[in-house]
Amino acid sequence: MQLRDVARILEAEVLTGEDKLDLTVEAGCGCDLISDMLAFTKERMIVLTGLVSPQIIRAAEMVDLVAIVFVRGKRPTPDIIELSNELGLPIMCTHYPLYESAGLLFTAGLPGWRHWPRAVGGAKDAP
């Protein structure tokens, strides 16, 4: 699935990275804890989150995520937007809550971590 498909499905506003909407997203993860994000995400994934902090951007950079989608109508502050621009990380906002956002993307064919064949140890090790 392309990032532009994510934006369309979630009716999301793209705040940064409009030039990267052709990137491929291989899987998705929903979390509001940075520790969960670091444990359950890998490169070429997106994270759906309600956690609006600069640390989420730094963590996304560490695991080489494709993008971050802020849910529940939450909006990042100007410093978070600036940091995302500096790092070249696309960020979006959607009015959908986390559960519905994940459901919409999963129904559209985007697998979660558990079903992603490149997950560490494979699906058998996923929670």
Q: Where along the chain do its domains lie?
A: 3-111
What are the φ and ψ backbone dihedral angles of 24, each rounded to 5 degrees?
-90, 135
Average pLDDT of span 72-78 = 96
Distance set, CA 41 to CA 24, 60, 65, 77, 85 (Å): 15, 9, 8, 24, 21
**Residue range 30-59: average pLDDT?**
87
pLDDT in tens, 100-109: 999 999 999 9
Q: What is the pTM of this model?
A: 0.87
Give residue 117's pLDDT band: very low, low, confident or very high (50, 70, 90): low
Q: What is the mean pLDDT of the chain?
A: 88
Instruction: Residue 102: name the closest of 35, 33, 1, 31 by CA.
Output: 31
* pLDDT(29) > 50: yes
Which two tokens mark 114?
Answer: 């558990």
Question: What is 3-111's CATH superfamily?
Answer: HprK N-terminal domain-like (3.40.1390.20)
Cα separation of 127 and 114, whole Å? Answer: 7
**pLDDT band at 126; cut points 50, 70, 90:** very low
Helices of type H across the chain: 3-9, 34-40, 54-63, 78-87, 98-107
Q: Does residue 12 surpass a pLDDT of 70? A: yes
Residues in the chain: 127
